[in-house]
Structure 1
Amino acid sequence: IVDVVPTRVRETIEKGQVAIVAGFQGVTQHTNDVTTLGRGGSDTTAVALAAGLGADVCEIYSDVDGVFTADPRIVATARKVHRLTYEEMLDLAANGAKILALRCVEYGRRYGVPIHVRSSYSGREGTWVTDLPVEGEEPMEHPIIAGVAHDRSEAKITVVGVPDVPGTAARIFEVVAAADVNIDMIVQNVSAAKTGLTDISFTLPSDDGAKATAALASAQEEIGFDSVQYDDQIGKLSLVGAGMKSHPGVSAKLFGALRDAGINIEMITTSEIRVSVVTRADQLDDAVRAVHTAFELDGEDEAVVYAGTGR
């Protein structure tokens, strides 16, 4: 989105009328051709209009009462989160929480638009996504954990027997990039001293698995690796919370919870406010429940999904 010109919407509102806008579309800057905004375009339209109109808040209506600490379909006792920072919501959305589109949250953060996620089936207050302090309250320290997200849409590729010399990893990912494939997590093993070879694993959207493996296979002789292994039976769990920046022991508790549940970790990545792990796909639901309970996120009542898929 280059610009938002809400002239007609503003004129309609000033006449005391209700403006109904078809989201997900706009016009190109120079030719005025109608175009779509891509995935998440409807949510993004709402936040962009709110920013353009100078609205106090943008309300996004869903089939649940807000953003929950986990998917209510997996964790029945998941709690509604009252407030999230843009950064926390971005990480949750990027790692499987589907209640808000990633671009919508990014646009809200860029223009300082508070987003209120609530249910179209009830009048309850939902979840506020904003960096602004609560009016009349002193700024408080963030909760350690905001929620547990999960993602079943990824696959893992392992490039086996890669020569551990400068430039080889770069060439592998140049080949993948040329195939127009986005990469999420990357792990490289320590090379074997005897052979000077290593393995590189990365995750990617499972829909892109075939073209990524084909691209790598075509470059095998040039790069000099042994083989490519493809695995689409994985799941990703992400623990998100701004408070973990200042609280030691979060990773230890996460890994301990998975150990006690008998769940093996295949890959790990971290950021300042997130720890993500890859497990077997058939163990992902158990992993989410175990981690949710370990961090005392369970509520007393069952979460309500009024319709649709929830989170």
Structure 2
Amino acid sequence: MDYRDWEILKVLYSQKNLTKAARLLFITQPALTNRLKQMQEELGVKIVTRESRGVHFTPEGEYLVRCADDILAHYNKIKEHVRNMSNQAGNEIAGTLKLGVSNFFANYELPHILKLFKGQYPHVDFKVITGWSKDVTKLIHNKDVHIGFVRGDYSPRGLKKYLLLEETVSVTSKEVIDLVELPNLPRIDYSGDFLLKTLIDNWWAENYIQPPFISIEVDQVDTCKKMVLNGLGYGIIPSRMLIDTEDLYKIDLMDQDGNPILRRTWMYYHMESLEWNVVKAFVNFIETMATD
């Protein structure tokens, strides 16, 4: 079995359908069926069985799929290492940079950063995985990505971190409001990062006895902001979401000592990742960019 065979097993296992898998693999269904037959003959076991609703993996096939992740990861690591050796010899920065990025950072900060970096290092490609900050933290901790951009103070152990941004969190509304009246005013709530929700809930508990009056619940902070802009209630929103929004009334959250409550964005990476010249170049680029 070769590298392509392990890819075939992974894709087929995720789709459980020969036609869909063949389409994703950019091969014909007969070619896929023939390759599966050759794999089964080579190993001397049945890997899949065909059923009316698709394909079913045998226990042996399930085991091979589990092996595929390790084999493909090892192959990619070898490929990166060989490329890194070649690039170091030629003093050229090239390769694929794997980034794990929080949803907000991916939408509002990352495109400009990648554009500038690509301008300096045109031979670098990117693989970007987005998600909630807690999930991105797991990606970098497990070395599924080279570098992670995380909002909130998750502080995973064993990682090098660099502070990129600090922002306040604001009570935001279309009209002027009094914080004393906040529990009686309609609030637009949204599904956010766990640490952000905890930060807001703790601030509320320190200042009010009664719970907030949640009038509308949405799934994204962008939607919350649009609701606020239309005068449907107030929101509690990180300040970087409010850049270029001049027609909103804002009050920053303060702690009991009168200090602004800050939300931080960090860059995380493993120190050993700096052995890859593309990772080292990107880390240096971000740190230089942050200090300019």
Smaller-chain TM-score bracket: under 0.3
Bigger helix share = 2
